Chain A
Amino acid sequence: MSRVLALHLGLVALLLAMHFVLPAYHHGNLARVMVLACYAIGFNILFGYTGLLSLGHALFFAAGMYGMGLAITQLGAAPAPALLAGLIAGLVVAGITGALALRTVGVAFMIVTLMFAQAGYLTILYFGDITHGDEGFVIQPAQRVLWGLDLSDPSWRYLAAWALFSACLIASLALVRHPFGRTLTAIRENEERARLLGYDVALRKWVAVVISGGISALSGAAYGLLFGYAGASFASVQYSIFPLLWVLLGGAGTVLGPFIGTLFMFYLIDLTSGITTAYMLLAGVVLVLLTLFAPQGLVGEVRRRGWGWLP
């Protein structure tokens, strides 16, 4: 077993072990962080590996959350098909958004994705009769029993979050080591050269958007299902910026970076909010410092300082 695989499986094993030893509060937090880290993993595939900066990923996260939530509340679906509905909703939205947004590049791509996300947010508000707009809606505990497992129970919730995170982490690792993933990196490094080498760059970028959107949607669907709530605030600009911050903090273009960044940011906010109401200012200062002194993020910095083999 290579050290790369050992490291990543080691993290997965460590997180499983944490389930048995963490105190209740941190146990709950880690479940949340793992689901959100999946969102960051999805974002990282597009931003970190393909070099496309989207400012509208909340659209995919919310597509998954509402695809799942509305399947349950409107169609009476069970959690498993509802999760699938969330995933499909995210894939479809990402497919359409990607096809249109990828007609632009650079700053224009950022703006177009931002606009799409804003349109998605307003669509949720517009269809308030079924989405309950900004107030959102509750997914009742009885509707959250997946294959006999009550996801409102902290143990099952943690284990479900762990399973999802493990799958996303390993899939992400497999993707970036797969020839397809390497061509994404090639596109990030030099799009023109990749095209000259004969790769269909446009198609690959679109597939990257769809994969990234799909993972983000799965995270959104799981978040709604595990924590029992879907609301329009998850589609707001703030939730498009969060994965960018997590990935930048953890290390863009690293497989472990999204998890480390999400964990770091979660506890940064949790701890500083107990000290000052200006906790987002503190978070901003930390981000500026990290950008100055560790521009490649925490994991990126580790890779630069010796662990060059980190994927």
Chain B
Amino acid sequence: MTLKPTDLTRRGALKGLGAAATLPLWTRYAGAQSAEPIKIGFQVHRTGIGAAYGRWYDRTTQAAVAMINEAGGINGRPVEIIAEDDGTDAKRGAEVIEKFATQHNCDIAYGTLFSHVVIGSAPRAGELKLPYFVVSEGHHVASGMLNRYTLQPGITDVKSQVQAMAPFITDQLGKKVTMIFPDYGFGYDHRDNLVPAIEANGGEVIELIAIPPTETSFTKYFPKIPRETEVLYHVMVGPAVLTFVKELGEFFGPQAPEIFGFIDSLEAVNIGSPGLEFLEGTYFWEGMCRHAQPDQSEFETLYREKVGVDDRGASLADPKDVSTYAHMFGCWETLNVIKAGMEASGYSGPSDRAALIEAVEAMTDMPEGVEHPQGPKLFNGKTHQVFGQQYISQVQDGVLTRVHTTSIEDGMYPDEVDYTTQSF
């Protein structure tokens, strides 16, 4: 018997051993797979500023998963939700992603709303090669800031929402717009997208009033609103919003301009709360109409029933517990996209994660149905962002009544990234 000479030299072998020595022991087992069920790590705002959203994201998630499991699960396997609180904190959010990937051995991660948590978590999801489906409505996904493992297939982003509002504002309400917004990221998203959108539709933003997030009284800002203002656009959020609306009403009295706001200000807040009477007759963007409309689809009726929400958008168990109705549908729809993606890719375990992402990237039309009760959508696989209809409601006799539905195209904009060119 003769020994064949190989390319392996002593130096090469030592180099290999040296490189191997830097590897921790667990990397040898990183490929091990669990058989079933499919584990979805749910990053949820249980505490912190996003807790109200978290509570309803949780309920919607549980309802969607119960329905998916009743229908046989995904690829014949039941779905298990593993929830972890991210504390609405970027650092904790990233830690939770690590926990899903390396301790709970989740197949994918999903959830969460606040942009800083998503942006803080996405790099870790990318490094851990863990598909991360967010329900955040931030523009960070489509802007190209994140990575191929992060997708937003269940809710439109702020850029799209604001852009779609502009034609209605300028055509129906007025050309001269004054904007009041919180002086931080969420407000800037609105400022940066509304101004060009209004101008593109022949209008003009005549004043921008940024209010610090710590402010508790707003009276001193109102004299800055120019007299010629035809539309007042507001996106105030946080606990001071009730004071904001009350003081705005006291300032204007019956002489108010048209007022347009984002329902984000009043998510989880009863529109009939004392102090909000001034909102009568004003307009709101709604991702999904909180108050049941006369022409509500059968899919939305089913969705309300399954999530446990009444016709006023409050919990069936407690009418005072108002939901975050304009956003939480994103959880339901995202979970259904995950299901469709896993079925299309024949997902069987973590080794199929890349195939799952490719399957979702290949999606385009998402017709209205049980899976998409908010309305039809169009997914852009390159930017990992979904586009859909937006709703504008007017408060009429204390009821948010839909007065306009935008087209999907109203919210579309040119691609800013092509994630499909990034390797896995």
Contact = CB atoms under 8 A, between A and B. Distances in A.
Consensus secondary structure, chain A interface:
helix
A136 B120 contact: yes
Interface in B174-204: 183-186, 188
B98 A137 contact: no
Nearest to A159: B22
B90 interface: yes
A155 B24 contact: yes
A239 to B, nearest CB: 8
A220 B342 CA distance: 39
A231 B90 CA distance: 8
Interface string A269-283: 110011001011000
Contacts of B99: 25, 270
A22 B188 CA distance: 43
A24 interface: yes
Interface in A39-63: none
Contacts of B127: 141, 152-154, 228
Interface stretch (B6-14, B138-146, B309-317, B403-411): B138-146
B124 to A, nearest CB: 7
B35 to A, nearest CB: 20
B95 A233 contact: no
Contact of A227 (B30, B47, B124, B183): B124
A134 B182 CA distance: 12
A279 B89 CA distance: 14
Interface stretch (A6-14, A26-34, A75-83): A26-34
Question: How big is chain B's contact interface, by range?
Answer: 35 or more
Chain A interface bracket (under 10, 10 to 19, 20 to 34, 35 or more):
35 or more
A19 B101 CA distance: 18
B71 interface: no
Contacts of A273: 84-85, 87
B89 to A, nearest CB: 6
B145 A137 contact: yes
A158 B120 CA distance: 19
A282 B183 CA distance: 34
Contacts of B24: 19-22, 24, 27, 154-155, 158
Contacts of A229: 90, 94, 119-120, 123
B3 interface: no
Contacts of B26: 22-24, 27
A280 B185 CA distance: 27
B172 interface: no
Interface string A231-257: 111100010000000000000000000
A32 B183 CA distance: 31
Interface stretch (A125-133, A191-199, A204-212): A125-133
B286 to A, nearest CB: 23
A187 to B, nearest CB: 33
Nearest to A122: B212
Contacts of A228: 123-124, 127
Contact of A25 (B87, B94, B103): B103
A134 B183 contact: no
A264 interface: no
A133 B89 contact: no
Nearest to A32: B95
A133 B122 contact: no
A152 B124 CA distance: 8
Nearest to A144: B123
Interface in B76-110: 84-85, 87, 89-92, 94-95, 98-99, 101-103
B23 interface: yes
A294 interface: no
Given A24-B26, A125-B183, A280-B47, A134 B124 contact: no
Interface string A136-175: 1111110000000000111110110000000000000000
A279 B95 CA distance: 16
B30 A24 contact: yes
A134 B122 CA distance: 16
B120 to A, nearest CB: 5
A238 B116 CA distance: 15
Given A19-B24, A28-B98, A134 B47 contact: no
B25 interface: yes
B50 interface: no
A189 interface: no
A227 B22 contact: no
B25 A21 contact: yes
A31 B22 CA distance: 14
Contacts of B87: 273
Contacts of B188: 128, 133
B126 interface: yes
B22 A138 contact: no
Contacts of B95: 29, 32, 270
Interface of A: 19-25, 27-29, 32, 125, 128, 132-141, 152-156, 158-159, 227-229, 231-234, 238, 269-270, 273-274, 277, 279-280
26 contacts: A22-B26, A23-B103, A27-B24, A27-B26, A32-B95, A125-B184, A128-B184, A128-B188, A134-B185, A134-B186, A135-B185, A138-B146, A141-B123, A154-B24, A154-B27, A154-B127, A155-B22, A155-B27, A228-B123, A228-B124, A229-B94, A231-B116, A231-B120, A238-B89, A269-B92, A279-B85
Given A128-B185, A152-B123, 8 more contacts: A22-B25, A25-B99, A134-B115, A134-B184, A141-B126, A155-B24, A231-B90, A277-B46
Interface of B: 22-27, 30, 46-47, 84-85, 87, 89-92, 94-95, 98-99, 101-103, 115-116, 119-120, 122-124, 126-127, 138, 140, 145-146, 183-186, 188
Task: In the A-B complex, list the 6 residue pairs whose CB atoms are closest, starting with the nearest.
Answer: A228-B123, A24-B102, A25-B103, A25-B102, A135-B185, A133-B185
